Amino acid sequence: MLPRLLREATQLACRVGGVAQFKPTFRRPRMVQIREAKFVHARLVAPAASPGNRATPRTEHRRMEPREASSARSTVGRRWQGRRKAGRRGQLEWRRGVADAPSRRAPDCFARGGWTGWGFPFGPVVRTLFPMRALIPLLCLGVLVAAFPRVAAKPPALPAAAHWPELADALRHAIDSSHAPGASWGVVVANADSGNVWFATNQTHLLVPASNTKLFSVALALAHFGPDHRFATDLAIPGATDAAGTTAGPLWIRGGGVPFLAGTTDPRRSLAPLAASLSARHVRRITGGAVLDASWIEAAPHGSGWNWDDLQEAYAPPVGPFVWNGNAAHVLIRGGTAPGQPATARLGPIPGLIDVDVRAVTVATNQPTRLSFRRRPGETRLRIDGSIRANGSHTEHVSVPDGAHAFGLALRTALEAEGIRLDGPVRVAAPGENVPAPWEPIPGPALSAIAADCLKPSDNLLAQLLLLQVGADARRHASAADPDAGDDEARGIAALAGFLKTMGISGNEASFEEGSGLSRKNVVSTAATVRLLRHAR
């Protein structure tokens, strides 16, 4: 834990300047987190009148008060302090569709350690979806204390100049005496309006940003497309529909990299707009199956620098033009009624997403549950070993091997729920296969909504997907004379470098390999991060 002097120094900054306070804490040896203590915060509040529907949010300003947590796990899992229960319930329903819908994010991930990002553009959040083994001593990007007068109902007064020498001495002493051996601190205290730096140390050192990479990816996407842009999933049926509502098909669907088509992460409703569009055409049966066109994005399913042993985790799913349920699944393992009996497993939200091989056995209730989950890269089989207590249960969130395959299974389920029968297989179109025209676009949520869902929960899939969308758009608009710039990820990284140059951030201050922060090769300076945040305001 940081020494008391650092806490007092940063609290002094809040008192004299009405600023945001970030405090790294080391509550567990396997966890590093940043926790917001106090600042005037503008958040989105969604009406809770219609569960499952993304309503237009309104902005509400509330002052957050510090509160100590009883444990690191409860600190990470806790939402912003000061929310009313009704508002919190409404926001959860807005984000996840319905309050009781299974989340695509593993709650177990919160206890695995990681590095949180600042929740641009609405303020810092607490999340740890980054594996602890990815943390290295240089991970401490730093402590940023910056005024946010525009999000407050009444701009706070700027700190008096006489206070800053005292604050600078306190911060310098706190860093020098911190109980974080081997760590490298990058700290910048700056005026968010003028950019005047009040305190800085190691501000130009290149440090691993981890999930703070998402700030850069989302800012790039918002600047490239605009906050009101909507990605679309297109559909087409070449054959005619008879009076009975039967068409020979096949049904063609072109994935457009839309993370939640219906504006909700509820997997039971996320593909409802596709089924509703066919129902409006009076289609009741498709005899030719379905073909998925995955040509919209040309990139590897996982980001450069992602560890191979992370790819089975829910925080590192495959990224591409087809996304459903965050390209993740959950496995419910149950023990038998007596020791020695085999454990059972049930896959959700729908069966068939993964092949599950359960080898775990039941043990007595006074024995601990020890389970391991392993799926090798390129395989579809998830092997579960270990032991589980009698009558006990455990839920594990894992990634799916193939996003298009998961989308196809969900598509069939969504059509059946709408009363549409799909006869024939669901397959992915071969490269160069003739596709029908015209397409009917089914637009997804606005980019601003995707950005909020990406940054506040620190969603790796969404961050990498936004980078690929920028790269794919650059590829489609590139002239024939342009040399090959690589796949869409490489083009997205090139676009990010050009975007940062407009702020005066050179390649010596920020260098990225992918868009989520899972790669350890991403490096950025604290000064460059401050410059991005000032530009984003």
Q: Percentage of the chain with pLDDT > 70?
A: 69
pLDDT, mean of residues 238-254: 91
Task: Give tens-digit pLDDT for 348-377.
Answer: 999 999 999 999 999 999 999 999 999 998
Which tops the pLDDT comparison, 310 or 142?
Answer: 310
Instruction: Of 76-80, 109-113, 190-194, 416-420, give the lowest mean pLDDT range.
Output: 109-113
DSSP string, 115-127: -----TTT-----
Q: Is residue 265 in a domain?
A: no
Q: Is residue 233 in a domain?
A: no
pLDDT value at residue 370: 97
Q: Is residue 171 in a domain?
A: yes
Task: Give tens-digit pLDDT for 23-78.
Answer: 333 333 333 333 333 333 333 333 344 344 444 444 333 333 333 333 333 333 33
3 state DSSP class of 79: coil
pLDDT value at residue 504: 95
Q: Which residues pair with 399 in a beta bridge?
A: 328
What is d(CA 362, CA 369) in angstroms, rounded to the nearest whole number? Answer: 9
pLDDT value at residue 160: 60
3 state DSSP class of 349: coil
pLDDT value at residue 406: 96
Total domains in the fold of the chain: 1
- pLDDT confidence bin for 238, thresholds 50/70/90: confident
pLDDT, mean of residues 287-309: 95
pTM of the model: 0.72
Average pLDDT score over the chain: 76
- pLDDT confidence bin for 141, thresholds 50/70/90: very low
Q: Is residue 214 in a domain?
A: no
Task: Give tens-digit pLDDT for 277-293.
Answer: 999 999 999 999 999 99
Token reading at 191: 């005026």
What residues contact residue 399 under an 8 Å CB cut-off, 6+ apart? 311, 312, 313, 314, 316, 317, 318, 327, 328, 329
Q: Is residue 313 in a domain?
A: no
Which tops the pLDDT comparison, 188 or 163?
Answer: 188
- pLDDT confidence bin for 506, thresholds 50/70/90: very high
pLDDT score of 433 more than 50: yes
What residues contact residue 472 under an 8 Å CB cut-off, 6+ apart? 257, 296, 297, 298, 299, 488, 491
pLDDT score of 174 more than 70: yes
Q: Is residue 86 in a domain?
A: yes
pLDDT value at residue 28: 33
What angle, rounded to 10 degrees, do the helices at 488-501 and 460-476 form?
90
pLDDT value at residue 155: 53
Q: Is residue 379 in a domain?
A: no
pLDDT score of 339 more than 60: yes
What is d(CA 74, CA 81) in angstroms, rounded to the nearest whole number? Answer: 13
Task: Give tens-digit pLDDT for 213-236.
Answer: 999 999 999 999 999 999 999 999
Q: Is residue 300 in a domain?
A: no
pLDDT score of 391 more than 60: yes
- pLDDT confidence bin for 432, thresholds 50/70/90: confident
Which tops the pLDDT comparison, 175 or 83?
Answer: 175
What angle, rounded to 10 degrees, do the helices at 272-280 and 403-417 form?
50
DSSP string, 281-329: TT--EESS-EEEE--S--S-SS-TT--GGGTTBTTS---SS--SGGGEE
One-letter amino acid for residue 272 of the chain: A
Q: How far is CA 199 from CA 5, 164, 174, 190, in A?
A: 16, 8, 13, 7
Nearest to 384 by CA among 375, 376, 392: 375
pLDDT score of 144 more than 50: no
Parent domain of 20: 4-209+522-536
What is d(CA 400, CA 393) in angstroms, rounded to the nearest whole number? Answer: 21
**What is the number of alpha carbons within 13 Å of residue 340 lying toward its C-beta?**
0
What is d(CA 138, CA 537) in angstroms, rounded to the nearest whole number? Answer: 28
pLDDT value at residue 158: 56
Answer whether 315's CB lies under 8 Å from 106's CB: yes
pLDDT value at residue 284: 95
